Amino acid sequence: MNEELEKTIQELQAAVEVMQDAFRQIGDFAEGLNRLLQHVLTGMSEATVVDLTLTKITELVDQNI
């Protein structure tokens, strides 16, 4: 039973690491997209919405990794 528990824990840890890596990739993408769009959307009303949305995504990523 102890071996089964250890195997399950290792599998769960591996799954968590995969999810954390995915969160990091999402955060990196959101940050890069935000930087790019800041130049494209300068002076447009959509810029604020896009900035706030992408900033919130990166904050959620940081909280979950």
What pLDDT, in 10s, does the model give residues 30-62?
A: 999 988 888 888 888 888 888 899 999 999 988
Residue 63 has pLDDT above 90, yes or no: no
Structure tokens at 33: 């997209």
Rounded to whole angstroms, how far apart are CA atoms 59 and 53?
A: 10
Domain boundaries defined on the chain: 15-64
- Determine the pLDDT at residue 1: 65
Rounded to whole angstroms, how far apart are CA atoms 24 and 50?
A: 19
Angle between helices 2-40 and 46-64 in degrees, nearest 10: 160
Record the pTM: 0.73
